[in-house]
Amino acid sequence: QVRLQESGPGLVKPSETLSLICNVSGDSVTSDYWSWVRQSPAKGLEWIGYMTHSGVTKLNPSLKSRLTISLDTSKNQVSLKLTSVSAADTAVYFCARVRWSGWYSRNHYYYGMDVWGQGTTVTVSS
Amino acid sequence: DIVMTQSPLFLPVTPGEPASISCRSTQSLLHSNGNNYLDWYLQKPGQSPQVLIYLGSKRASGVPDRFSGTGSGTDFTLKISRVEPEDVGVYYCMQALQTPRSFGGGTKLEIK
């Protein structure tokens, strides 16, 4: 059974860097795509970005200048770093597996974001 | 960016009755490979979203067959043939054709 578990600081001060980890069990981060989504009352569900198993990232342009998504294959983790946070970054952050072959695979498949973590709440406040 | 619009916002339903949710996109979600890149997710109270439908009409593993997705291009519908109490929650559509991915604003299904 595939499980995703987000972890992070909970509270971050404005202008500081938010770092989150998604621990993956039951699957390898070297397969599939790995996504981050956040949810706030103001913006609803907001797609943050994804990283492919081959290390390609696609990031939301609204966050791109502050955002890094990376894989740690030795720990089987996906990480998110968001710099210069403000109150607008207060949200529940989810990681999710995207079962997708990509556009150019000979054997195309897509099953959506089929496994989600339970989410971790991040509050930006001094 | 593609904007997703859902209706209605709230959907009170009597158990056993059908329900329908509409989702519209500002651009066609039909890829040249013939697939519509439209997902439906359900977020039950206190839980993470879960995928119900992908590629517009394909039920995800373990999803009851009372859920069905139809539509193509820019207009999509999620139908529940007979609502059950465990179907309460917020339903979201999401386009997966382009980045940034985008979600609809959600439809809250409540039991009458």
Contact: B106, A110; criterion CB under 8 Å: no
In this predicted model, which residue has the larger pLDDT, A94 or A102? Answer: A94
Nearest to A121 by CA among A90, A86, A92: A92
Chain B closest CA to A101's CA: distance in Å?
13
Q: How far apart are CA B112 and CA B107, in angstroms?
A: 15
The answer to whether the beta carbons of residues A46 and A53 sit under 8 Å apart is: no
Chain A closest CA to B16's CA: distance in Å?
27
Percentage with pLDDT > 90 across chain A: 90
Q: How confident is the model at residue A53 (pLDDT cuts 50, 70, 90)?
A: confident
- Chain B positions touching A49 (Cβ under 8 A) are 99-100
Tokens representing A47 are 């797609």
Determine phi and psi for A107, rounding to 5 degrees.
Answer: -105, 80
Q: How far apart are CA B80 and CA B67, in angstroms?
A: 5
Looking up tokens 């056993």 gives B16
Contact: B51, A112; criterion CB under 8 Å: yes
Q: What is the mean pLDDT of chain A?
A: 95
Contact: B54, A94; criterion CB under 8 Å: no
- Chain B positions touching A44 (Cβ under 8 A) are 92, 103, 105-106
Residues from B in contact with A at Cβ < 8 Å:
33, 35, 37, 39, 41, 47-51, 53-55, 60-61, 92, 94, 96, 99-103, 105-106
Tens-digit pLDDT profile for residues B30-70: 999 999 999 999 999 999 999 999 999 999 999 999 999 99
pLDDT (0 to 100) of residue A54:
85
- Chain A positions touching B36 (Cβ under 8 A) are none
Strand segments (E) across chain A = 3-7, 11-12, 18-25, 33-40, 44-52, 57-59, 67-72, 77-82, 91-100, 110-116, 120-124
Chain A closest CA to B47's CA: distance in Å?
7
What's the mean pLDDT in B60-81? 98
pLDDT (0 to 100) of residue A102:
83
pLDDT (0 to 100) of residue A104:
78
- Is the confidence at residue A105, as pLDDT, over 90? no
- Is the confidence at residue A107, as pLDDT, over 90? no
Tens-digit pLDDT profile for residues A9-24: 999 999 999 999 999 9
